[in-house]
Structure formats: C-alpha cells, structure tokens
Chains A and B, each alone.
Chain A
C-alpha cells in the first residue's frame, strides 16, 4: 500500500508566521511520530501519538509547537510565530507496533 505522506513538501514562511504541516500515516498504523532534522544531523524526536492520544511530547522545543491527531489517523504539527531556528526538515513516521518506524518524505521548512 501507500507509504507515509506529508504535505506540503516545501514551505517558506516569514518570521512570525504560523505554519501547519500535515502527515498521513500508513493505513492501520496506530503509532505516529514527529521528528525534526537539522542539516547534517540525525532526526530529533518531537512527539508521539498512539491512535489519538499524545503519549509523549517531551521533544517539542517550545510552547509554539503543537501537534494533534484528533481521529487517530492524520496528524498536524503546528508551529506558531515561526523563528529562523525552526528552519529544518520535519519528518513524520508511523508504525504498526510502535517499534519499526517508517518515515514519510518530510516537509522542508525555511523561515526567512
């Protein structure tokens, strides 16, 4: 079946603008993860959902970051009042068992 999809693939935002990034996991995958990857570094964990429950949000860097998965499928990561340091690739991953995670193509965010 289809893999994890993310949209938009690229987003340019002006500093202070709000952005919303969407993730559509693999069908039937109950676990969904968001990661942030800065250039030249490994992905860093942001938050984790099991169905609609957000079980871990310890990686969200500030209260400007908010994620939701209201129906246990599609998830949205929202960043309010974007800053230049938010520029990164935002990766979504899903898993059927919470262990083996499959990544989407990512959203490349550039904040000017």
Chain B
C-alpha cells in the first residue's frame, strides 16, 4: 500500500462546476497536509495547506481534513479551464522529519 493515494483520473469537470479531489494516507502520525497544482511541464505550485480537522477555505478552494478517516480532500468551486492541471496531495509525516510524501496526483480537465 502506498503511503499517500490519489485517483489518477482524469477527472473531467464542466466549466463552472465543483471539482472534488480525494487523497488518503496511511500514517496516523501525519501532521500536516498540502495540495499542490502542477501544470504540464512545470513545477508544483502550493495551493493550500491544512493542519487541523475540518474545512479551510481560500478563494475558490476548500481543503477538508478528517484525521480519523485518514482522508484529505480538495474542492474547487466554479471550475475554470485554467484549473486544468494535475493536483498533488502531499503529507508531512512529522516523525520522519519535514519531508513531504506525495501521492501520484489527480489530473483534472475542465471542459468549457
């Protein structure tokens, strides 16, 4: 079992709809959680981070964390074609230092 798992997609979303991305992790000691966006041929760009259970909103993005279920999600409201990218979930396990463990990414395609 991989430490951080994501559905590879592609997740096809109509423009203006909500895109819902999921991520599960295996280490209960995980302390902080990050979502990065990566356009093709570019490097990861930080979108959101979340440390506590519950929801965290930033503009059109909402991150949700449920440590009991070992589950973190990202919602993108009012999806735009410019949101088409791969979204990477990353987890800082904490006990192993500050390194991030990444999932394989979910490719999102927003169709006009």
Q: Is the CB of B43 within 8 A of A100?
A: no
Scoring B4, B34, B45, B102 by chain A CB atoms within 10 A of each residue's CB, the highest score goes to B102
Q: Is the CB of B49 within 8 A of A100?
A: yes
Q: Is the CB of A105 within 8 A of B105?
A: no
Q: Please report the C-alpha to C-alpha distance between residue A42 and residue B25 in the assembled complex, in whole angstroms.
A: 14
Which positions 68-112 of chain B face chain A at CB distance < 8 Å?
Answer: 88, 90, 92, 96-105
Q: What's the nearest-Cβ distance from chain A to residue B61, in Å?
A: 15
Q: Is the CB of A44 within 8 A of B98?
A: no
List 17 additional contacts besides A95-B98, A105-B42; criterion CB under 8 Å. A40-B104, A41-B105, A42-B90, A42-B103, A42-B104, A43-B88, A44-B102, A48-B97, A48-B99, A55-B97, A58-B96, A99-B49, A99-B92, A100-B49, A103-B43, A104-B43, A106-B43
**Cross-interface CB contact of A48 among B45, B98, B104, cutoff 8 Å:** B98
Q: What's the nearest-Cβ distance from chain A to residue B34, in Å?
A: 7
Which positions 56-92 of chain A face chain B at CB distance < 8 Å?
Answer: 56, 58-59, 89, 91
Scoring A43, A100, A104 by chain B CB atoms within 10 A of each residue's CB, the highest score goes to A43
Q: What's the nearest-Cβ distance from chain A to residue B99, in Å?
A: 4
Q: How many B residues touch the partner, as a band?
A: 20 to 34
Q: Is the CB of A45 within 8 A of B100?
A: yes
On whether A42 and B42 interact (CB within 8 A), knowing A99-B32, A100-B34, the answer reads: no
Q: What's the nearest-Cβ distance from chain A to residue B22, in Å?
A: 15
Scoring B32, B34, B99 by chain A CB atoms within 10 A of each residue's CB, the highest score goes to B99
Q: List 7 A-B contacts (CB under 8 A).
A: A42-B104, A43-B44, A45-B100, A56-B96, A56-B97, A95-B98, A99-B98
> How many residues belonging to A are interface residues under a CB distance threshold of 8 Å?
26
Indicate whether B17 reaches chain A with its CB closer than 8 angstroms.
no
Q: Report chain B residues within 8 Å CB of A43.
A: 44, 88, 100, 102
**Which residue of B is nearest A34, CB measured?**
B99
Q: Report chain A residues within 8 Å CB of B99.
A: 33, 45, 48, 56, 59
Q: Report chain A residues within 8 Å CB of B45.
A: 103
Which positions 21-55 of chain B face chain A at CB distance < 8 Å?
Answer: 32, 34, 36, 42-46, 49
